[in-house]
């Protein structure tokens, strides 16, 4: 050990403070310092001396000036929760805090559930015979925004922490000895990088180059990239870059993509308009499923951690990117390594409860009925009335009517 450079006298770096301030794990620190995890832990505990070599590596990685041009805003982007109960009324009322009479009972199935309710984009699937299948709440990003609207204006400024705590408390009341009664089967966290017209944004193509050249490491061993465009009358339209790290078959993977391009395609407008209207550039999604999503939400309720900071930690714990010289890719860690760059927010949007009416108004059953009535008038026939007179309610529709009667009757 005689050739190991010892740190010089002076103020010692607080290694743990550096790590926690950068939102990285102990394993991440051990990797970039080139030492074992157990050795690094001993340094944090003061059981091993901080050598000059290690101190210089820490300074090289974390003590470079970090600019503030990158801003990340975290939102909850997808939630699935399953309850082992047949009481859909209770779940909607006590967990979602909504009124069941505002939901629409659909006449088709999904996910092998015989019944499907929706309020705006908030979907509830339920079984009337199989308690293990029970009730499944499914909320896309749009549905999450709609529930946030209800939190804000109808549920006393409720938070996501309140929502998940309430769900767990409900499960404990209903089945204290059944840990499977409630499961969060999917939870997506989105970190949106806000558009910065003056100073610029992180270039996802640089991350693609790092991936292609093998300048990355971590728990995720595979990546994929999608880059496309479309030729139109107005010229070539870029659909933006999407990067995937990890397999979609696993319970944790990442999707990093140019959100401004995706939103422009969805809204049939220009990328510039999306940047002006929403201030969006890139999105960094963390997709968690099954055991990982369930454990994440339960830990969130137990400790009430900051979701944005936790999202940064998960990314840094699973992915490490390097520059062409083998050092940390500092432009990436300016984005994913500063405490002041991240915060969690909600973006309430009112649910679109009128979409079922739009369906009837635009090519739905009402217009079809009128079309056939007019046709019968023209040809002097009564075929439509004969069809209606001889029609029988199917077994499936009988069950739907039974459910409608139960739902509207408030039976629990």
Choice between 331 and 253, residue whose per-residue pLDDT is larger: 253
Whole-angstrom distance, CA of residue 279 vs CA of residue 297: 29
- Give 101-112 pLDDT, tens digit per residue: 999 998 888 899
- Give 282-299 pLDDT, tens digit per residue: 999 999 999 999 999 999
Give the count of alpha carbons within 13 A of 394, CB side only: 4
Choice between 260 and 354, residue whose per-residue pLDDT is larger: 260
Q: pTM, whole model, 2 decimals?
A: 0.75
Two tokens, residue 12: 């010692």
* pLDDT given at position 236: 64
Q: Average pLDDT for residues 63-77, to the nearest whole number? A: 74
pLDDT higher than threshold 70 for residue 11: no
Specify whether the backbone of 200 is left (phi greater than 0), alpha (psi in -120 to 50) or beta: left
* pLDDT given at position 9: 47
Q: Which residues contact 106 (CB under 8 A, 6 or more apart)?
A: 116, 117, 118
- Give 189-244 pLDDT, tens digit per residue: 999 999 999 889 999 999 999 999 999 988 888 999 998 776 666 666 677 899 99
pLDDT higher than threshold 90 for residue 186: yes
* pLDDT given at position 344: 56
Please name which of 300, 228, 227 lies closest in space to residue 74, comparing C-alpha atoms.
300
pLDDT higher than threshold 80 for residue 276: yes
Q: Average pLDDT for residues 90-101, to the nearest whole number? A: 95
What single-letter DSSP state applies at residue 110?
A: B
First to last CA, the chain: 74
pLDDT higher than threshold 60 for residue 95: yes
Sign of torsion, CA 77 255 219 216? negative
Choice between 393 and 35, residue whose per-residue pLDDT is larger: 35
Average pLDDT across the chain, whole number: 84
Whole-angstrom distance, CA of residue 403 vs CA of residue 409: 10
Identify the three-state secondary structure at position 223: strand
* pLDDT given at position 120: 92
pLDDT higher than threshold 60 for residue 272: yes
Two tokens, residue 275: 């940047």
- Give 309-366 pLDDT, tens digit per residue: 899 889 988 998 988 888 778 888 888 875 444 555 556 666 654 555 555 555 556 6
Whole-angstrom distance, CA of residue 6 vs CA of residue 12: 12
Q: Average pLDDT for residues 155-164, to the nearest whole number? A: 96
């Amino acid at each position: 050990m005689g050739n190991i450079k010892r740190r010089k006298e002076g103020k010692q770096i607080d290694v743990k403070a550096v790590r926690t301030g950068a939102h990285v794990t102990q394993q991440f620190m051990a990797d970039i310092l080139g030492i074992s995890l157990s050795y690094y832990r001993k340094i944090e505990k003061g059981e091993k001396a901080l050598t000059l070599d290690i101190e210089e590596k820490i300074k090289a990685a974390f003590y470079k000036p970090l600019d503030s041009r990158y801003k990340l805003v975290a939102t909850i982007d997808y939630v699935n929760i399953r309850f082992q109960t047949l009481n859909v009324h209770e779940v909607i009322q006590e967990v979602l805090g909504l009124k069941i009479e505002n939901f629409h009972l659909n006449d088709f199935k999904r996910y092998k559930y015989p019944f499907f309710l929706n309020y705006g984009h908030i979907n509830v699937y339920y079984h009337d015979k199989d308690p293990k299948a029970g009730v499944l709440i499914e909320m896309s990003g749009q549905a999450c925004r709609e529930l946030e609207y209800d939190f804000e204006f109808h549920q006393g400024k409720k938070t996501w922490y309140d929502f998940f705590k309430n769900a767990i408390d409900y499960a404990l009341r209903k089945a204290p000895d059944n840990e499977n009664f409630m499961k969060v089967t999917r939870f997506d966290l989105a970190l949106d990088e806000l558009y910065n017209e003056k100073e610029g944004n992180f270039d996802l193509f640089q991350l693609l180059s790092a991936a292609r050249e093998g300048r990355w490491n971590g728990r995720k061993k595979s990546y994929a990239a999608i880059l496309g465009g479309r030729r139109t009358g107005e010229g070539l339209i870029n659909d933006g870059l999407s990067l995937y790290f990890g397999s979609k078959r696993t319970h944790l993977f990442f999707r990093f993509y140019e959100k401004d391009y995706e939103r422009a395609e969805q809204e049939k407008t220009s990328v510039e308009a999306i940047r002006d209207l929403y201030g969006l550039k890139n999105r960094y999604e963390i997709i968690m499923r099954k055991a990982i999503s369930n454990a994440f939400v339960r830990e969130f309720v137990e400790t009430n951690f900051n979701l944005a900071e936790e999202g940064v930690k998960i990314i840094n714990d699973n992915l490490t990117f390097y520059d062409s010289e083998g050092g940390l890719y500092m432009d990436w860690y300016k984005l994913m390594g500063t405490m002041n760059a991240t915060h969690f927010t909600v973006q309430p949007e009112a649910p679109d409860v009128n979409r079922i009416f739009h369906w009837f108004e635009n090519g739905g059953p009402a217009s079809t009925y009128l079309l056939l009535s007019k046709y019968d008038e023209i040809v002097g026939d009564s075929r439509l009335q004969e069809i209606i007179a001889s029609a029988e309610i199917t077994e499936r529709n009988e069950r739907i009517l039974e459910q409608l009667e139960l739902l509207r009757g408030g039976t629990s």
